[in-house]
Amino acid sequence: MTPRLASTAVVLLLLAVPLAGTILNEPWLITLATRVAILGLAGVGLNLVLGYGGMVSLGHAAYFGIGGYVAGILAHHALEGHPLMAWPVALGGTDSMIVIWLVAIVCGALLALLIGSLSLRTTGVYFIMITLAFAQMIYYFTISWPAYGGEDGLPIYVRNSLFGLDTMDPMTFFMIVFVVLVIVIFLVSRVVQSNFGLALNAVRQNEARVRSVGIGGFRIRLVAFVMSGAITALAGALFVDLNRFVSPSMLSWHTSGEIMIFVILGGVARLWGPIAGAALYVFLEQVLGSMTEHWQFWVGLLLIVVVLHARGGIMGFTSGRHSHGG
Amino acid sequence: MPATLIAEQVLNGLQFGVMLFLMSAGLTLVFGVMGLINLAHGSLYMIGAFACAAVVSATGSFWLGLAASLAAAAAAGALVEVTLMRRLYQRGHLDQVLVTFALILVFSEGIRWVFGAFPLYLDIPPLLAGTVPLPGGLDYPLYRLVIIAAGLTVAAGLFQLVSRTRLGMRIRAGESDREMIAAIGVNIRALYTAVFALGAALAGFAGAVIGSITSVEVGMGEPVLILAFVVIVIGGIGSIKGALVGAILVGVTDTMGRLLLPALFATFLEPADAAATGASLASMLIYLLMALVLFLRPGGLFGKAA
Amino acid sequence: MAAESGNAPVVLDVVGLTRSFGAVRANDAVSLDLVTGEIHALIGPNGAGKSTFISQVAGDLAPDSGSIRFQGRDIGQMSAAQRARLGMARTFQISSLIPEFTVLENAMLAHLGRLGESMRFFAPVARDRKLRQLARTCLERVGLDSRHRERVSEISHGERRLLEIAIALALEPAVFLLDEPMAGLDQEGSRMLIGLLDSLRQTAPVLLVEHDMDAVFALADRISVLVDGRLIATGQPDAIRSDDTVRAAYLGVEHP
């Protein structure tokens, strides 16, 4: 199978499951596919830095979570009618998905800029530990900050609105998520093939060479990191709309690890890889979870086998081409 | 604020720091000598705690439990090193992160399978129960004082080991030159297993000792692991001295921040707001400390890299 | 052919460059200049500090002390990338290319750097006609154009050495810093490369670190000799060949 064919298969599968859910009148299938699309989108964000840029960020839960809290807090204020802040400018909440997405993207990008400009000064093991630690800092902050539910999280009761659509209808919401996913993947596909993409791919492989032709590696990595944070934050906002609930668990380091697993299971540096990875993960969760409550034990063993013996992931395996391991 | 309260919290911070050191020492040795990032180090901490709890409930002896925690964690560490870690030394950090993350899933679910989901409680041995009057009118728990002493003893022992003994020489040589040490005929595989098992034993010991103060439950290792990472980033990778200084810095900063920040904010905010703001900021304080160190010295306080 | 360092304008002027690693002084107050139109060879035994010197000039390694002036500007505080944009083109002792890229992509990356166009996010780089054309021109100059579609991991060692030079050319350099461009080449490859290097000095002056003494004496207008981190002699090839200190310290040993 060529990479293009493998991608098509992933898209078709992602569309087929909710369709089957509609026909069989099993709406939970639609919700499951929506979850896959959103988690996959978070992985698309991480893939940009991990797969293309070779930066092992173990803190992407931070961006997923901040996107989630943007959605939760704005919707909460819209619902309660309290202004978000009264000074220096009066700002209220909103239930408009478009506005929420934009704010989530901006907040994710800003947070990534802040964390990236510190952590990208280091490499290797340091970078991994630092991204993890900063994500943990925000996790603890949300737990200890009581205004938005603290440890218990914040429910938002109704989905936010978009063009007057019935967003509570599972299929409608799935289609919204799907369209967002396709747009983001299209944009990412342009970015990775652009001038910038060439430089980013080069930085991963040989930073000294990139410097020697006059391109500052730090700047390239930081821009990729910021884009990545923005995408993962957008996914976080969608995730909260799906569940109508945001809690600190979105920010826990298990979430960071899971997002990374989506990317690896799917195959690094492949556009639709994270979707395939998220699909496999959710599938395992459902199937193994119905057989044993200790399904994570088996997922752990499987992951070890995949990393040690099948480094190309699903997309690498099906398209018969080995990708770099990073 | 009474001076005894401050003194008590400083001691608590010191005790916390000493325990963090036991976690960080193993991690930093494994980083420094083998170049491996081991996320499952927290699982070894958990294994130590559960081994202790199981043996205590079977025999009633805390001391046997403590010995079991060392043995179980060291055995688990050696097993993992021989079966998995060995294949990872030559791989990239990404593979190391993934495999050791997967190991956390395996260990956590495995323990839950065997022991169930409910936390276990360990009693402090009667010999160490009660408090000791300290100068200045402070009654401080004996057990915590013993932890501080035990931790500092282990630290001193580690310094001796690394700087004075043949094993330590080999560890330091492995750090600087893998090929050289192989050339002079040291069995590098056995050395790596020994270093890994030693780090695991320290983590298991910490788990058992702390498990007696808090509770023994699945997932107890991860928050400590992440704090140990912060310690290592602050102290510098591969440096035992850095781990000790970093650990005490983190322990004391965290404990004192939680005490002092809410009080500080109370001087100019409403009590409820002050408590919330102070607590939130205190929970972030050590990470801000880490950011500051990174900004000033990206290689850590005692790191080799500039 | 030989340029007189007295008349030609000085392009690169390094004074008192010093760098230690622990107790070892890899470079001890090394001063060296490069004038328009010349090839200035830097020779010396292994471990003399030649690569350390190049790395400091290129900005990959910070000196402990000393100054580097390039086209009249003090560039001591600039990053390696900034220096490259000013026209400082270095090659590496061990081929340092982007292994998963094609030959063409490697050359395009260099043009991207020179033109400062790495922050373009939307248009596919592969369809950028101008960039492709520029890259192929450089590949042509080193005789690699017919191989432009090959991945770097699949071309020969000699071709990689040539690609390094093509990349340096792409930077429209004001100076070449070549770190052992002949390393590992067979006789045929060396002969070809000597011809290419010879023509480079018309583009920009060359600082040439090289072990192949035949190549050095065939190409160099001036030669500096580095031993144990110190410069023991600088002069024209004939003078260096007959210099007693140099013979004792270096040439005498390797070329009895």
Coil, strand or helix at C73? strand
Q: Which residues contact A101 (CB under 8 A, 6 or more apart)?
A: A180, A234, A237, A238
Nearest chain B residue to A119, by CA = B294
Per-residue pLDDT for C165 more than 70?
yes
Q: Is residue C43 within 8 Å of C210, Cβ to Cβ?
A: yes
Structural domain count, chain A: 1
**Window 75-94 of B, Cβ < 8 Å to A:** 84, 87, 91-94
pLDDT class of C6 with cuts at 50, 70, 90: low
- List the domain range (segments joined by +) for residue A96: 3-318
pLDDT in tens, C92-124: 888 789 989 999 999 999 999 888 888 888 888
pLDDT means per 10 residues in chain A (326 residues)?
A: 78 84 85 93 94 91 95 84 69 80 94 92 85 90 82 80 79 92 94 93 90 90 96 95 90 92 84 90 87 87 85 60 37
| Closest C-alpha among B257, B243, B259 to residue B287 | B257
Per-residue pLDDT at B102? 92
* Cβ-based neighbour number of residue C5 at 10 Å: 18
Per-residue pLDDT for B19 more than 60?
yes
Subunit contact B97:A56, Cβ cutoff 8 A: yes
Per-residue pLDDT at C115? 86
Per-residue pLDDT at B296? 84
Q: Write out the H or E segment, with its range, that includes residue A212.
A: helix A207-212
Q: Which residues contact C245 (CB under 8 A, 6 or more apart)?
A: C232, C233
Per-residue pLDDT at C124? 87
| Residue numbers in B near A122 (CB within 8 A) | 294, 298
Per-residue pLDDT for B18 more than 60?
yes
**Window 130-149 of C, Cβ < 8 Å to A:** 131
Q: Measured between CB atoms, does A205 come within 8 Å of chain C?
A: yes
Q: Measured between CB atoms, does B290 come within 8 Å of chain A?
A: yes
Subunit contact A196:C119, Cβ cutoff 8 A: yes
| Residue numbers in C near A213 (CB within 8 A) | 84, 109-110, 112-114, 167, 170-171
Subunit contact A215:C120, Cβ cutoff 8 A: no
Per mean pLDDT, which range of A110-124, B127-141, C158-172 is the poorest? B127-141
| Residue numbers in B near A130 (CB within 8 A) | 233, 290, 294
Q: What are phi and psi of B121, to 5 degrees?
A: -120, 135
Q: In this structure, is residue A326 part of a structural domain?
A: no
Structural domain count, chain B: 1
Subunit contact A146:B108, Cβ cutoff 8 A: no
Per-residue pLDDT for B306 more than 80?
no
pLDDT class of C2 with cuts at 50, 70, 90: very low
Q: Write out the H or E segment, with its range, that includes residue A220.
A: helix A217-243
Q: Is residue C153 within 8 Å of C99, Cβ to Cβ?
A: yes
pLDDT class of B175 with cuts at 50, 70, 90: low
Per-residue pLDDT at A322? 39
Cα distance between residue B63 and residue B55, in whole Å: 9
Subunit contact B295:A118, Cβ cutoff 8 A: yes
Q: Measured between CB atoms, does C119 come within 8 Å of chain A?
A: yes
Per-residue pLDDT at A323? 39
The top-level CATH class assigned to C1-87+173-256 is alpha beta
Cα distance between residue C104 and residue B48, in whole Å: 56
Subunit contact A213:C92, Cβ cutoff 8 A: no
Question: Which of A301, A307, A323 is the best residue to mutate to test the B interface, defined by the most B CB atoms within 10 Å of its own CB?
Answer: A307
- List the domain range (segments joined by +) for residue B132: 3-218
Taking the CA of residue A307 and the nearest CA in chain B, the distance in Å comes to 6
Per-residue pLDDT at A324? 37
Per-residue pLDDT at A321? 42
Strand pairing category for C230-235 and C222-227:
antiparallel
Per-residue pLDDT at B185? 61
Q: What is the dihedral of CA B258, B262, B267, B272, to 10 degrees?
A: -170
Question: Which of A52, A183, A190, A209 is the best residue to mutate to test the C interface, defined by the most C CB atoms within 10 Å of its own CB?
Answer: A209
Mean pLDDT of C68-85: 90
- Please spell the DSSP secondary structure of A150-177, one letter per residue: GGG-EE--S--BSTT--TTSHHHHHHHH
Mean pLDDT of C67-76: 90
Taking the CA of residue A179 and the nearest CA in chain B, the distance in Å comes to 31
Per-residue pLDDT at C157? 87
Sheet holding C65-70, edge to edge: C24-35, C10-21, C65-70, C73-74
In total, the C-beta contacts within 8 angstroms joining chain A to chain B are 124
Q: Write out the H or E segment, with its range, that includes residue B133.
A: strand B131-134
pTM to 2 decimal places: 0.87
CATH code for the domain of A77: 1.10.3470
Q: In this structure, is residue A325 part of a structural domain?
A: no
Mean pLDDT of B43-49: 92
Per-residue pLDDT at A319? 53
Q: In this predicted complex, what is the ipTM?
A: 0.86
Per-residue pLDDT at B177? 61
Q: Measured between CB atoms, does C82 come within 8 Å of chain A?
A: yes
Nearest chain C residue to A187, by CA = C122
Q: Is residue A175 within 8 Å of A30, Cβ to Cβ?
A: no
Per mean pLDDT, which range of B203-217, C215-229, C241-255 is the poorest? C241-255
Cα distance between residue B41 and residue B18, in whole Å: 17
The overall average pLDDT reported for chain B is 84
Subunit contact B112:A143, Cβ cutoff 8 A: no
Domain limits, chain C: 1-87+173-256, 97-171
Alpha carbon of residue A39 to chain centroid: 5
pLDDT class of B266 with cuts at 50, 70, 90: confident
Q: In this structure, is residue B158 part of a structural domain?
A: yes
Per mean pLDDT, which range of A81-85, A139-143, C87-91, C157-161 is the poorest? A81-85
Subunit contact A210:C109, Cβ cutoff 8 A: yes
Per-residue pLDDT at A170? 85
- Please spell the DSSP secondary structure of A62-120, one letter per residue: HHHHHHHHHHHHHHHHHHH--EEE-SSS-EE---BHHHHHHHHHHHHHHHHHHHHHHHT
Q: What are phi and psi of C30, to 5 degrees?
A: -85, 125
Per-residue pLDDT at A239? 95
